[in-house]
Amino acid sequence: MNNISLALIFFPVFCLGQVNTWQRVIVNDTINWTLPAFFYSQATGEFVMTMGSQDESGNNSPYCVQVYKPGIGKWINALPNAALYGSWADSTGYARNNGRCGNGVFGTYYWAFKSIDGYLRPNTGAFKATRAYGQFGLCANDGKAYFYINNCTFTYNPATRHWDTLSTTIHPNSGAVESYLKWGTICYDAYNQEFLLCGGGALDKDSSHLGSWTFKPSTGTWTELSRANQPGPRANSAMAYDAQNQAIVLFGGDHLDFYYGDTWIYTCATRTWTQRHPSMNPRPRAGHSLLYLPKIKRIVLLGGYSRSSDQSSAYEMWAYDYIANTWGLIKRFNGTNVWPKTVGVKCPATGFAAVDTNDMIAALGDSAPSSYYFHPSVYQLQ
């Protein structure tokens, strides 16, 4: 399940006659990260990367929140307000003496939030403990990113750069002794103004399948949905909210002994799941991305990993038409094309992605100096 990632930028073009080729526009080999959260903040106009595990390398690491602004050409440290909390680091490059490391002001390699100089923040130097997978989503109402990691529900506000932990007595893995839910997927349901969580595993309970849950920010409560009819147990699936049809689309996932290639629809008005059966589907996969492009009003699938020995799923882009219930292949890249190649184990080329209000997509793919950490580089699709 170690999906290790890169950064790619492209403008989706679905017209006949367009070429759609990758171009590497930025080479960056100084950031060590694994399985972060990645999303677009409309409030700041930035693509945000945070959480995940950062390489334990003393002070020679970037800050635990970095942003990419199209046109800037580099990652920028999203530091706390210097007027309120003092200067912690430079805007780019390494973040000096910021207390990220386990031997720094956190004083532990275990997962924890701590107030540093009056600023609450998580310890992303905790060994393998802060990997986000897909267990986060951006709330359209307050602009905050909501996370469910290590059985903890918390938020990050890109506009104010503030973290906040939320007290939830009942949550999807409440009552667990040691285990943390991993490999799940969270998507924001704008119709009900709440989040939907589906999938995940690695639990110490009799059943590793927690089913589907919702989290409502206005009340701070988790609620389990009926298990009468819903997607089966899976890891590293993907979901996207279709704003035009007020529904959430789910495709695929990893059952650990096989891969799913199924399409499910979550109807927000009734909070119910229905499996659909298009005449043609993308091949079974996991670790992919699903995005709703607001201008063209389509769901787009990017990359993923599968049983294919050549990992050819990572070469693909698909689009889903909700009304027609059809999947269509946008493009399948071949081995001679320039593209963000997967290196190492089960690494999707576009496993983590975000889209801005103009349908520009940024995604995290793979460039692995080790089996755990990656160095982001930027590609653009012409």
Which residues partner with 213 through β-bridges?
Answer: 197, 224
303: Cα separation from own chain's centroid: 13
Q: Is 82 helix (H, G, I), strand (E, B) or coil?
A: helix
pLDDT above 70 for 117: yes
pTM comes to 0.89
Q: Which of 29-33, 66-70, 114-118 has the lowest mean pLDDT?
A: 29-33
Burial status of residue 379 (CB atoms within 10 A of its CB: 0-12, 13-18, 19 or more): buried
pLDDT above 80 for 93: no
What's residue 244's pLDDT? 96
pLDDT, tens digit, 9 for 90 and up, residues 26-36: 666 566 777 88
Residue type, 359: D
Task: Identify whether 281 is part of a domain.
Answer: yes
pLDDT above 90 for 323: yes
CATH at 243: 2.120.10.80
Task: Identify whether 110 is part of a domain.
Answer: no
Q: What is the dihedral of CA 237, 35, 10, 289, to 10 degrees?
A: 0
pLDDT (mean) for 59-79: 81
What's residue 238's pLDDT? 95
What's residue 256's pLDDT? 85
Assigned token pair, 209 = 């399948």
What's residue 173's pLDDT? 86
Task: Identify whether 237 is part of a domain.
Answer: yes
As a whole number of angstroms, the distance between CA 291 and CA 300 comes to 5
pLDDT above 60 for 112: yes
Task: Identify whether 102 is part of a domain.
Answer: no
Q: Is 83 helix (H, G, I), strand (E, B) or coil?
A: helix
Task: Identify whether 101 is part of a domain.
Answer: no
pLDDT above 90 for 358: no
- DSSP letter string, 309-357: TT-GGGGEEEEEETTTTEEEEEEE--TTS------SSS--TTSEEEE-T
Q: Which of 57-71, 92-106, 353-367 has the lowest mean pLDDT?
A: 92-106
pLDDT, tens digit, 9 for 90 and up, residues 190-240: 999 999 999 988 665 555 678 899 999 999 999 999 878 899 999 899 999
Work out how many domains the chain is built from and give that number: 1
What's residue 195's pLDDT? 98
What's residue 143's pLDDT? 96
* Of the ranges 17-21, 302-306, 322-326, the best mean pLDDT one: 322-326
Task: Identify whether 97 is part of a domain.
Answer: no
Task: Identify whether 196 is part of a domain.
Answer: yes
As a whole number of angstroms, the distance between CA 51 and CA 382 comes to 30
Q: Which of 10-24, 233-247, 343-357 has the lowest mean pLDDT?
A: 10-24
Query: Regarding beta strands 238-242 and 247-254, do their DSSP bridges make them parallel or antiparallel, or are they unpaired?
Result: antiparallel
CB atoms within 10 A of CB 283: 15
As a whole number of angstroms, the distance between CA 256 and CA 329 comes to 26
Range of the structural domain that residue 141 is part of: 7-58+65-74+115-381
What's residue 103's pLDDT? 52
pLDDT above 80 for 58: no
- DSSP letter string, 18-78: ----EEEEE------EES-EEEEETTTTEEEEE-SEEP--TT-S--SEEEE-TTT-SEEE-
Task: Identify whether 94 is part of a domain.
Answer: no
pLDDT (mean) for 315-342: 82
What's residue 309's pLDDT? 61
pLDDT (mean) for 171-176: 82
As a whole number of angstroms, the distance between CA 294 and CA 358 comes to 8
pLDDT above 80 for 3: no
Q: How confident is the model at residue 338 (pLDDT cuts 50, 70, 90)?
A: low
Average pLDDT, the chain: 80
